């Protein structure tokens, strides 16, 4: 069987998203694109709920004033449907993202790494700025329990953008 046939469409889509993130991070590291913009990496275990909602809020609120990525230490197979629905309620579509693993280039390019419950499973680079956001995990929770998590993430992202000098648009 040819390799192209053995790779699922899901695996291909994840590989494309990881490549996109790595190239964007490499461009920032090399000073080609995004140089000088504050950048953040949101990390959690499965990259299917909290970190994806944070990325959605960040991109929505920051516009082109800052860069952000999200990843997981043990990426899940799909986004949390309640997280997607909760974000959709506020007009933010995160459905095109997929859980993906972190990449060295992205960790290096980030000015700040925000962890969300991944503990020792998240990458650690000495000298890199880290923050841990203690947030409830939306995994397995119904939409009505995910909404307060979404709202808390919005509050934290808004405060973060103010600290980074990239106040919400």
Catalytic residue selected from 17, 40, 44, 71: 44
Catalytic residue selected from 122, 146, 164, 166: 122
**Token pair of 116 as six digits:** 């969300």
- Does 122 qualify as catalytic in the annotation? yes
Chain CA centroid to CA 88, Å: 16
- Does 76 qualify as catalytic in the annotation? no
- Does 75 qualify as catalytic in the annotation? no
Smallest CA-to-CA distance from 103 within 53, 28, 8 is with 28
CA distance 98 to 17: 8
Cα Rg of the chain, angstroms: 16
Chain CA centroid to CA 101, Å: 10
* Location of structure tokens 């069987």: 1
Active site residues: 44, 118, 122
């Amino acid at each position: 069987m040819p390799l192209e046939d053995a790779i699922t469409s899901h695996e291909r889509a994840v590989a494309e998203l990881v490549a996109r993130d790595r190239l964007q991070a490499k461009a920032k590291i090399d000073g080609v694109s995004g140089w000088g913009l504050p950048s953040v990496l949101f990390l959690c275990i499965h990259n299917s709920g909290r970190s994806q909602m944070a990325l959605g809020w960040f991109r929505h609120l920051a516009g082109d004033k800052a860069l952000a990525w999200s990843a997981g230490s043990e990426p899940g197979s799909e986004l949390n449907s309640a997280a997607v629905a909760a974000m959709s309620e506020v007009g933010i579509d995160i459905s095109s993202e997929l859980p993906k693993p972190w990449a060295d280039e992205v960790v290096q390019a980030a000015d700040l790494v925000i962890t969300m419950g991944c503990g020792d499973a998240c990458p650690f680079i000495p000298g890199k700025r880290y923050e841990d956001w203690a947030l409830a995990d939306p995994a397995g929770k119904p939409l009505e329990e995910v909404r307060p998590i979404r709202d808390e993430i919005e509050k934290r992202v808004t405060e973060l953008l103010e600290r980074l000098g990239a106040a919400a648009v």
